[in-house]
Structure 1
Amino acid sequence: MAAPAAKSHLAFFPFPSQGHVTPAFQLARLLHHCHGFDVTFVHTEHNRRRLLRARGPGALAGEPGFRFAAVPDGLPPSDEDAARDVAALLLSLPTMVPHFKELVLSELPAASCRRLLVSDVDPILRAAQEIGLPCVTFWTTSASSFMVMQQVRHLVARGLVPLKAEEWIPGQHGHRLGAGVAQGHARLRDFPTFIRTTDPDDAMLALTLRLTECYRTVPSAVVFHTFEELESQVISAMSDILPPIYAIGPLPLLLREAGGDHAASTSAGYSLSKEDRACLDWLDGKRPNSVVFASFGSLVKLTSEQLAELAWGLASSGYEFLWVIRSDQQATGAAGGTAAVLPPEFLAETEGRGCVTSWCPQEAVLRHGAVGAFLTHCGWNSMLESVCAGVPMLCWPFAADQQTNSRMACTEWRVGVELSEDPGREEVEAAIRQVMGGGRGEEMRSSAAEWKDKAALAARPGSSSWVNQERVVDEVLAPLMDKKRVC
């Protein structure tokens, strides 16, 4: 591929949680190795320490033209191997601004090298604007969730948000909000959870409104981690309300198409937690499509009751399962590791047909032929990885963009079954049986296989996502840096 005529420097500053860090790192690798940009990838100090514990010094060793930096996150110091509380982290983002400015002005290559910021953090994007640093937004969740967030200001203007009465709070699954979402009407439960407030001064609602206004006015372009075929109507609709937009994904597939050593730097290669790869050996002995894989990402917490109901749903289904339960998974707290949060009777009942681990290389697990269904919280990385692997989903969303993603999987892509907001064991068992066997399961498996092929095609040279990542370089990054590229 062509490279910039002179070295140009990209500063990546993703929102500091696993679901944002992973795709941002993948995009940074792609632009560094395939297009010749130098990169400084910025972590928080908390995440830097987590990476060192999980992967050793090599995780932050860098290489020529690719370096790492870190800033404090403004929260009390913690060496806990767990993600920060998201609400607290969002509210602390402004404290990172002076550290970011100092990094740009004193540590990044200066006058002889053009610089540009790639970020999804509102205060950081605005800070870049203040110091004259060109910036691009990389939106690491679905384009559909971005569109839904853009509609929040219209809901506020129409007096629908904040909510006026308790009867509007979740449970009214049939209630629809005509907010102009491209795919049609959206139910209240399909919107991000932070609009479900009756408080006009709600901090999360205010942050959402400020964030969406930022994305419309500050960056020169918005890059989405998706592919056009997956969210075509939304992408088309957003072209009228945003700066230039580009769909570049799925990034793991683009990296594999690009080839070379950097192709291995997918989600499994940049985890903030230590992975248990022994679960892949456990899967090796299983029949094709025979295992239910259950994982709820890096942030979701479950109550002891939810864990118990899910456990007995898995047990009663009769299927083998691989279940990821983080050490900080249980909302009420539990000592003694993953076994301590599960009923002893469940462990005895499922001995020999279940594998429980604290973290795993999820992308590799989903690609394993033994996995027949994915019970997921519907975080966007998980959704894309499942689509790329052709694995049907059992969708149990909890917060943020997850409700919107679940809606898309179940109604638009037809690769998922939606669970209620607090499913009991009978519902879990029935959903597993539905996805793993029978006519409905076969239909979903067929749809999943079709989407797997479409994702692979989008990432191939000459196809939509491949062309779009070249357009981002030619139409956005290079012009912003005032550099012409040479062949």
Structure 2
Amino acid sequence: MASISLRQKPHAVLVPFPSQGHINPLMQLAKVLHYKGFHITFVHTEYNYRRLLKSRGSNSLDGLPTFRFVTIPDGLPATDANATQDIPLLCDSTSKHCLPHFRNLLKKLSSSPDSPPITCIICDGVMSFTLDAAQELGLPAVFFWTPSACGFMGYVQFHRLIEKGLTPFKDESYFTNGHLDIVIDWIPGMKDIRLKDLPTFLRTADPNDIMLNFLVAETERTKKASAVILNTFHDLEDEVVDALSTLLPPIYSIGPLNLQLKQIPADNEPDLVRGESSVIPAEFLEETKERSLLASWCPQEQVLSHPAIGGFLTHSGWNSTLESVCGGVPMICWSFCGEQPTNCRYSCKEWGIGFELGDDVKRDYVEGLVRKLTEGGEGKEMKKNALEWKKLAKEATTCPNGLSFLALDKLINQIIKLDV
């Protein structure tokens, strides 16, 4: 039988999108909430749970009495080793298959003597099926959008881009005829943004494109959330955050979460699973065996904090960008998909901490950028800017007056208040 103290704990059910770049920030938030006194239920999809067990060992997800891992089916075939790399398939499958199983999980948790009554659901912004279950049970649903604020704003504007005829493209020629160079001057809080700087899921000529329509639906459903969490800090993205605040439920900028975690004494932080397996082509290993060192995993945040690091070649994913900001490290930005081009644009043009690596990647050009970053005058200015952002990021998460630190406390108070 659960103790009285356990029954009185606030209980947060966290539901990440089953991709590592989404799981990590949700896990960071879960650890912070656990330290703040919450009972945590962390919901993996069955497919991702199996992958984590395979890569980390059979006992790696046992959790703690007040920090538990559970699973729900996701509709993905167990035999497909790379299903989580197919983002459209993953989004389509979770949105169509997870709700009834999540509903049953909530009922099971609500009747369990081993956990407190559920206080709230905190879901990834693209796992909005949880909203239906939350509404049925009268629970607050908080949406955690894991991109940058500028990247998230790009997604929020997808419906207007469709209304204005900017996407879907009329035909395949629009990928190369200069259409992507159109300047978008009407997005609140953003300036000098080109169509190609916005998230890449708008780059389609198919009106039935899964990702375009999925993201329009998910951002629209965000308007029904009890609150919205962003893993950023106000000084970095103040104009965009302020603009989003006029469009959506209360927004809490509580990042960088990796720095919020540093407020937790080491002996109080739960020792939970991290990392994931990766697949590297055999040809790459053969080609680089005499001139590279390849590790299966490394603590990227610690590496970026090392004083020997002069720059970071990054795909401009938001987690990596934030870690670079926190380490005071300037970047060479080689964006690939999603909101990475938006992060790249802001890193290079707004924050002054990066050089963009274009599509025509040649050895001499890359060498020139590296030298420019580590030896040139521009690079030194970027390092200065990066160190200033590092300082502001630390201030934002520092007790007792950091804006992100205060926003986190305000969020917790709202969650508890909504549950009363």
Fold similarity call, TM over 0.5: yes
> Is 1:119 paired with 2:113?
no
Partner of 1:454: 392
* 1:22 paired residue among 17, 21, 24: 24
For this pair of structures, how many residues does the alignment match?
409
Asked whether the equivalents of residues 9 and 109 of structure 1 are also in contact (C-alpha less than 8 Å), the reply is no
Which letter maps to 1:204?
A: M
Aligned with 2:284 (options 335, 341, 350): 341
Q: Give the Cα separation in 2 of the matches to 1:108 and 1:85.
A: 34
* Residue 367 (structure 2) aligns with: 429
Alignment check: 8 A CA contact 2:83 2:89 kept: no
1:273 counterpart residue number: 276
Residues 142 and 224 of structure 1 are in contact (CA less than 8 Å); yes or no, is this contact kept in structure 2?
A: yes
Structure 1 residues 67-100: Cα deviation after superposition (integer angstroms, max 9, x where no partner): 1101222111048488442111011012111111
- Residue 377 of structure 2 is aligned to residue 439 of structure 1: yes
Q: 2:218 aligned with 1:211, yes or no?
A: yes
Q: Please state how far the C-alpha of 1:148 moved relative to its aligned partner.
A: 1.1
User: Which residue in the other structure is 1:287 paired with?
Assistant: none
CA contact (8 A) 1:143 1:231 kept: yes
The aligned runs of 1:64-83 (5 Å cut-off) are: 64-78=65-79, 80=81, 83=84
Distance 2:162 2:350 in 1: 27
Alignment map for 1:323-342 (pairs within 5 Å): 326-328=278-280, 334-335=281-282, 340-342=283-285
For the 8 Å contact 1:54–1:271, the answer to whether it is kept is: no
The CA distance in 1 between the partners of 2:163 and 2:206, in whole Å, is 15
The Cα of 1:178 is off from its aligned counterpart by 2.7
> Quick one: which amino acid aligns to residue 260 of structure 2?
L
1:4–1:478: 8 Å Cα contact kept in structure 2? Answer: no
Which residue type is aligned with residue 56 of structure 1?
Answer: G
Instruction: For residue 58 of structure 1, report the CA deviation from its aligned partner.
Output: 4.4
Contact kept, 8 Å, 1:170 with 1:189, in 2: the verdict is no
CA contact (8 A) 1:327 1:358 kept: no
Q: TM-score, normalised by structure 1?
A: 0.79
The answer to whether the 8 A contact 1:256-1:264 is kept is no
In the alignment, what sits opposite 2:170? 164
CA distance in 2, matches of 1:105, 1:27: 24
Map of 1:46 onto structure 2: 47
Pair 1:80–1:161, CA change in 2 (3 A): closer
Match of 1:372 in 2: 310
Distance 1:433 1:343 in 2: 27
Deviation at 1:110, TM superposition (A): 6.2
Give the structure 1 partner of residue 35 of structure 2. 33
Q: CA deviation at 1:13?
A: 0.3
Find the residue that maps to 2:44 and give its secondary structure.
strand
Residues 31 and 179 from structure 1, CA distance in 2 versus in 1: closer, same or farther, beyond 3 angstroms? same
Q: Deviations for 1:141-163, whole angstroms, at most 9, x for unmatched residues? A: 11111111111111111222212
**Aligned partners of 1:27 and 1:251 also within 8 Å:** yes
Give the match's secondary structure for 2:294: strand
1:370 to partner: Cα distance: 2.0
Distance 1:347 1:91 in 2: 39
Answer yes or no: is 1:471 the counterpart of 2:414. no
Q: Distance in 2 between matches of 1:142 and 1:262?
A: 28
Could you tell me how far apart the structure 2 residues matched to 1:460 and 1:170 are?
47
- Measure how far apart 1:270 and its partner are: 3.8
**What amino acid does structure 2 have at the position aligned with 1:8?**
P
The answer on 1:182 being equivalent to 2:134 is no
State the Cα distance separating 1:107 from its structure 2 match. 3.2
**CA deviation profile, 1:116-173 (whole Å, cap 9, x unmatched):** 1100212223332244332101111111111111111111112222123444325736
Deviates more, 1:386-395 or 1:155-164: 155-164
What's the RMSD between the two structures over aligned residues? 2.4
In structure 1, C-alpha distance between the alignment counterparts of 2:47 and 2:275, rounded to whole Å: 10
- Are 2:127 and 1:106 aligned? no
- Conservation of the 8 A alpha-carbon contact between 2:311 and 2:374: yes
Q: Partner residue of 1:9?
A: 11
**Higher mean displacement: 438-447 or 102-111:** 102-111
For 2:87, the equivalent position in structure 1 comes to 86
How far is the alpha carbon of 1:251 from its aligned partner?
1.0
User: Retained in 2: the 8 A contact 1:379–1:402?
Assistant: yes
2:319 is matched with which residue?
381
Aligned 8 A contact 1:154 1:179 in 2: no
| Structure 1, gaps ≥5 residues long | 275-325, 329-333, 483-487
**Aligned pair in 2 of structure 1 residues 270, 168: CA closer, same or farther (>3 Å)?**
farther
User: Any conservation in 2 of the 1:179–1:186 contact (CA below 8 Å)?
Assistant: no
Q: 1:451 to 1:430 in 2, by over 3 A?
A: same
Q: How does 1:389-408 map to 2 (within 5 A)?
A: 389-408=327-346
Amino acid at match of 2:274: S
The percentage of counterpart residues that share the same residue type is 42
| Candidates 201, 215, 221, aligned match of 1:194 | 201
Q: Provide Cα deviations, 1:245-300, integer angstroms capped at 9, x if missing partner.
A: 010011121111232434476xxx643425xxxxxxxxxxxxxxxxxxxxxxxxxx
Structure 1 53/165 Cα, relative in aligned 2: closer, same or farther at 3 Å? closer
C-alpha change, 1:174 and 1:480, in structure 2 (3 Å) is: same
Question: Which of 110, 129, 136 in structure 1 is aligned with 2:135?
Answer: 129
Find the aligned partners of 1:430 and 1:342 in 2 and give their Cα distance.
25
Q: Distance in 2 between matches of 1:412 and 1:271?
A: 32
Deviates more, 1:194-203 or 1:20-29: 194-203
Whether the 8 Å contact between 2:185 and 2:193 is mirrored in structure 1 is yes
Question: 3-state DSSP class of the match of 1:246?
Answer: strand
Counterpart CA distance in 1 for 2:268 and 2:186 is 42
Q: Which amino acid aligns with 1:207?
A: F
- Give, in whole Å, the separation in 2 of the partners of 1:171 and 1:207: 26
TM-score, normalization by structure 2: 0.91
Matched-pair contact (CA < 8 Å) for 2:109–2:118 = no
Partner amino acid for 2:87?
V
3-state SS of 1:410 partner? helix
- What is the alpha-carbon distance in structure 1 between the residues aligned to residue 301 and residue 146 of structure 2? 17
Partner letter of residue 349 of structure 2? T
Partner of 1:295: none
Whether the aligned pair in 2 keeps the contact of 1:151 and 1:179 (CA below 8 Å) is no
CA deviation vs aligned residue, 1:392-429 (integer Å, no higher than 9, x gap): 11101111111111111011111100111352323222
Give unmatched runs, 5+ long, in structure 2.
Answer: none
1:287-306 → structure 2 map (5 Å cutoff): none
